[in-house]
Amino acid sequence: MPFPFRYIRILLVIAIFLYAGDLYAQYYNTGQDPASIRWKQVKTEHFTVIYPEDYGQRGIKFAKELDSASSKLTALFPSFKLRIPVVLHSYTTQSNGYVAWAPKRMEIYPTPEQNTIPLDPDRQLSTHEMTHVYQMLSLRQGFSGIMSYALGEQFTGIVSVLLPMWLLEGEAVFAESWLTPSGRGRTPSFRKQLKAISVEKGKPYKYDKILNDSYRDFIPSYYETGYQMVTWALGRGDPQIWNKVMRFTSNEPFTINPVNISLMRNERLTKKRLYNAALDTLGKSGGAR
């Protein structure tokens, strides 16, 4: 007697319910927000800001800061067509933010941290994270832009892996320091650790050690190192140096090391030479300001 088809369906349903594996719909699993939160949103020309209802007027204020930061950043980046959702997670003690590109969004943890600088935390956070948005948009040109239409936002994220973290974060710290009345780059406490290494060690740490960290010696973060390197390169006189790096990386990601190639073509530099020159300047004169 043939096995009834309805039994197969019943067994399949039971197997699905008994399956204990994890299933994820997205690449990132962030936000520990209570399920009881009522969400609101405010839309501007470039942003949809989503925030908890009891966050009140601060959600609208953050939307205004984003619009202001976006306008100011056109002084550093080409003008791009921009539309991105922004999620504010106010039910947390974290103070941070990040930009993800699959799916495209900005997530903000707006609680001010204890070690603050003399700058509105919303302005600092919006300027810093908007820099990352413009960096990602810069990678949607030429070859990578075409591939993004074919393969989706994932391709832009893959190309961004070719950019060192010191460049991504260093440029963001530079933006928050240059486009606002303060910023971490202007504070002595932000420079002191790298300054100490450049002055007291005699022979500076090698670039690879700074890049990969160390279990034996203290290594400053790529925010601190990146700010010095990005600012030193801009100080050579070409305000488009990093836009050229972004454009070349977007057009020729298959070169594997596009940052080095672009720096060599335009400034006769490599990443290692740039690091050594920036650290030498920091040791002699105090570094970028």
For residues 46-51, give the mean pLDDT. 96
Say how far apart CA 289 and CA 285 lie, in whole Å.
10
**Is 20 within the bounds of a domain?**
no
The residue out of 103, 138, 173 marking a domain boundary is 138
Percent of the chain with pLDDT over 70: 87
So what's the pLDDT on residue 4? 58
So what's the pLDDT on residue 31? 58
Tell me: do 279 and 175 sit in the same domain: yes
CB burial of 205-241 (b: ≥16 within 10 Å; e: otherwise) equals: bebeebbeeeeeeebbbbbbbbbbbbbbbbeeeeeeb
Q: What CATH number does the domain containing 285 carry?
A: 1.10.390
Give tens-digit pLDDT for 175-221: 999 999 999 999 999 999 999 888 876 677 899 999 999 999 999 99
Tell me: do 172 and 275 sit in the same domain: yes
Tell me: do 81 and 183 sit in the same domain: no
**Is 146 within the bounds of a domain?**
no
Tell me: do 167 and 286 sit in the same domain: yes
So what's the pLDDT on residue 98? 93
Helix (H, G, I), strand (E, B) or coil at 122: helix
pTM of the model: 0.87
- Note whether 203 and 213 are within 8 A (CB): no
Place of tokens 């205004």: 64
Tell me: do 168 and 289 sit in the same domain: yes
pLDDT at 252 > cutoff 90:
yes
**Residue of higher predicted confidence among 240 and 2:** 240
Tell me: do 202 and 274 sit in the same domain: yes
So what's the pLDDT on residue 27? 47
Give tens-digit pLDDT for 214-240: 999 999 999 999 999 999 999 998 999
So what's the pLDDT on residue 199? 85
Give tens-digit pLDDT for 59-111: 999 999 999 999 999 999 988 889 999 999 998 888 889 999 888 999 999 99
**Is 144 within the bounds of a domain?**
no
Helix (H) or strand (E) holding 141: none
Tell me: do 289 and 167 sit in the same domain: yes
Dmax over CA atoms of the chain, in Å, equals: 90
The residue out of 122, 138, 154 marking a domain boundary is 138
The residue out of 138, 154, 182 marking a domain boundary is 138
Give tens-digit pLDDT for 110-166: 998 887 888 999 999 999 999 999 999 999 999 999 999 888 899 999 999 999 999
- Domain total of the chain: 2
* Domain of 121, in residue numbers: 31-138
Measured in residues, the chain has a length of 289
Report the range of poorest mean pLDDT among 24-38, 39-53, 63-77: 24-38
**Is 246 within the bounds of a domain?**
yes
Report the range of poorest mean pLDDT among 11-15, 50-54, 148-152, 160-164: 11-15
Q: What CATH number does the domain containing 77 carry?
A: 3.30.2010.30
**Is 124 within the bounds of a domain?**
yes
Tell me: do 178 and 287 sit in the same domain: yes
So what's the pLDDT on residue 35? 85
**Is 202 within the bounds of a domain?**
yes
